Amino acid sequence: MAICNTLDKVIDRWMDPPEQQPTVDPQRVLSGNFVPVDELPPTPCPVVRGSIPSCLAGGAYIRNGPNPQHQFLGRTHHLFDGDGMLHSLLLPSATSTLESVPVLCSRYVRTYKYLLEHEARAPVLPNFLAGFQGLAGLARAMVFAARVFTGQIDLNKGFGVANTSITYFVDCLYALCEYDLPYSVHINPATGEVTTLGRYDFGGNLSLRMTAHPKKDPVTMELFAFSCSAFQPFIRYFWFDREGKKVAGVPIMSSQKPSVLHDFAITERYAIFPESQLIVSPMDMVVRGGSFVGLDSAMVPRIGVLPRYAKDDSDMRWFEVPGFNMLHTTNAWEEPDGEEIVLVGPNILSIEHLLGNMELMRARVDMVRVNLRTGDVSCIALSPENLEFGVVHQGYVGHRNRYGYFGVTGPMPKIIGIRKLDFDLVGFGDCTVARRDFGPGCFAGEPFFVPNNDDRYSNEDNGYVVCYTHEEATGDSHFVVMDARSLELDIIAEVQLPGRIPYGFHGVFVKQAELREQLQL
C-alpha cells in the first residue's frame, strides 16, 4: 500500500500535475459553492416565506450530488468523480404541532469507495474521468491493477460513488451512479436521519452496474433500466416487475461503438436509447495516449428503438439524427396511430465540453419524431434558451404529456432560472409559457415537479416545482416551492437551510406515505 501511495503521488506531481490542466484542477473546479461540505445531522430549518402545501407535508425532498471526501490539490479532479452526498429535507406533516419545522440532514452515501478511503484517510481509487488520460492515465491504471492484485481493493464490492440520482421503487430508496450497483438508503420519517443500508443487487439478480436514470412506468409500476460497458455488448437492457423481480436482460449487440449512454426513455411499447458522439475508448488511452472517454466527431448520433418487452435485440432499429447529442431525456411517448414515437430532451450542442469546461456547454430542448413505418426522422427546437435538467409530472413518464420544467443553465451545472414549456405549442416558435429567474448571484439545482394530491391526473400542471437555491454573495441556501400554474412560477414557500448545499445533480420528492412504507433491507 505504501508503494502504491508513493507511485500515485509521483504520477500526480510529475506526470500529470493539475495546474497544467485547468479543466480538472481542483483549485478551479472545487471553488465557490463546489467546495465540499461536512455532514450535517438532522437540523431544524425555519420557513421564512409562506407555508408548505399540504401535498408536500410529511414528505422529503432528497437531492444527490458530488461532495469529495478528501481534498488533495495535487490530484486532478472532475466534478463527476466526487463522493455522493444526499441532502434530505424532511417537511413537517399535516398533523405536526405548530412548533414543527422542516429538518435538513446531509450524509455521505456509505459506498465501498467511501468506506475504503475513509479508513485510509486518503484517496485510494483513481478519479476515472479526470485521471485516465495519456501516459499518466496508463500509469494510474497499472497502480490500480496492483492494488487489486495485492488485495487493497476488492472489485466485487464495486467502486462507484453513488452521486448522480436517487429513485424510489418497491418501498425502497436507491442512490445511483451508472458504473456501480444501486445503494439502498433509508430516510427516517420521524427524525429525518439518512442511513445507508448497503449496496443492493436485487437478490443476486443484478451484477456490476445499472444506469442512474431508470424509468418507472406509473401505470404498470415496472422499472426499466440498462447498463453500459466498454466491450460488447455495449448495452444490456433489463427491467423489473412491480414486485421488484428482475427480468432477464437483453444484450444489444447492434450498438456499433461504446457510446456514453447516460439516460434513456420508455413509451408504452418501446425502450429508446440515444447514442451520442462521446465514446468510451480504453484502447485509445493505451495505444495513442488519449483519453478513456473522448469525442468521435465523425460519428452520426442515433436513436435505437427496441420493443419494451423484447426477448432479444433482433427487433432493434436504429435511426440517425445528425447533430442530436442527448445527455438527459425528458420524456417520450407514442402518438395515437402507433406509427410515430416522440422523444423530448435537451440536445447538447457542445458535447465536447462535458469532460472539461462544463461551463461552456450549451443545450437546446428538441423534440424528435421517429416514424416507425416510413423511417422518417424530424427534429425541432422548443426554445431558444440554454435549457437542461428537464422533468415532467412523474405520472406521465412514458406517456403523452403536455408540460416540462427545465433549468436555465449558466454555467453548467448552475441554474439561473426555471422555464415551463408547453409541448402542444411545438411548431409555433418558443414553447415557453412560464418563467422564473432567481436574480444575480443566485443559482438553483434541478427542478422537480410535485403534483397536488387533490387533482393529480385531471390537470397535469396542478402542482408545485421545488428545488434548492444558493446565494453566492451571502452563502445562504434555501428550499423553494413554486406554483407550477403561475406565469412567473411564483414562490409560495421558502425554507432557509442551516448549511450550504453545494451544486449537484438529480433529486426526488418522496411522499409521507412512501417514507412510512420504506423497507429495512
What are the binding residues for Fe cation? 213, 262, 328, 506
Pairwise CA distance, residues 262 & 282, whole Å = 18
Cell reading at 145: 491493477
Residue 474 CB neighbour total at 10 angstroms: 9
DSSP string, 152-177: S--GGG------SEEEEETTEEEEE-
CA–CA separation, 399 and 42 (whole Å): 38
The amino acid present at 47, given as its one-letter code, is: V
Interior/surface letters 392-429, b for 16+ CB within 10 angstroms, e for the rest: bbeebbbbebebbbbbbbeebbbbbbbbbbbbeebeee
Of residues 193, 139, 200, the one with CA closest to residue 167: 200
- Distance, in Å, from the CA atom of 483 to the CA atom of 492, rounded to the nearest integer, reads 7
Nearest partner of 104 among 122, 92, 121, 96, judged by Cα? 92
Count of CA atoms in the C-beta half-sphere (13 A) of 188? 14
CA distances from 410 to 29, 357, 360, 392, 489 (A): 15, 12, 9, 21, 19
* Closest to 321 (Cα-Cα) out of 338, 304, 303: 303
**Among residues 109, 175, 151, 161, which one has the least CA distance to residue 130?**
161
Write out the binding residues: 213, 262, 328, 506
Q: How many CA atoms lie within 13 A of 471 on its CB side?
A: 11
* Block residue for cell numbers 451512479: 177
Q: Are 480 and 493 in contact (CB under 8 A)?
A: yes
Q: Where are the alpha helices (DSSP H) in 215-323?
A: 282-288
Q: Amino acid letter at 402?
A: R
Task: Quickly list H helices, 239-294.
Answer: 282-288
The answer to whether residues 450 and 463 touch, using CB atoms and an 8 Å cutoff, is: yes
